[in-house]
């Protein structure tokens, strides 16, 4: 699945998802929980704090 397909799967704009993936922006808690739910992984396995 490419980035555009994954963004569509999540219900996000590709540009918005790209900013998260490239660490230009941080997703809101709501978006982080949505991604976590959609891929079946805990938030702390997807996102981390440096």
Cα angle 50-15-9, degrees, rounded to a multiple of 5:
90
Walk along the chain (50 residues) and give the pLDDT tens digit of each residue. Answer: 999 999 999 999 999 999 999 999 999 999 999 999 999 999 999 887 77
Q: What's the rounded Cα separation, in Å, for the pair 42 and 34? A: 11
Specify the pLDDT at position 48: 78
Other CB atoms within a 10 A radius of the CB of residue 36 amount to: 16
Specify the pLDDT at position 41: 95
Q: What's the rounded Cα separation, in Å, for the pair 49 and 38? A: 21
Helices (H) and strands (E) in the chain, counts: 4, 0
Other CB atoms within a 10 A radius of the CB of residue 7 amount to: 19
Specify the pLDDT at position 47: 84
Specify the pLDDT at position 7: 96
């Amino acid at each position: 699945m490419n980035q555009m397909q994954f963004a569509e799967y999540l219900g996000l704009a590709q540009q918005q998802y790209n900013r998260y993936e490239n660490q230009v922006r941080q997703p809101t808690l709501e978006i982080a929980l949505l991604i976590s739910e959609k891929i079946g992984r805990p938030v702390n396995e997807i996102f981390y704090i440096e």
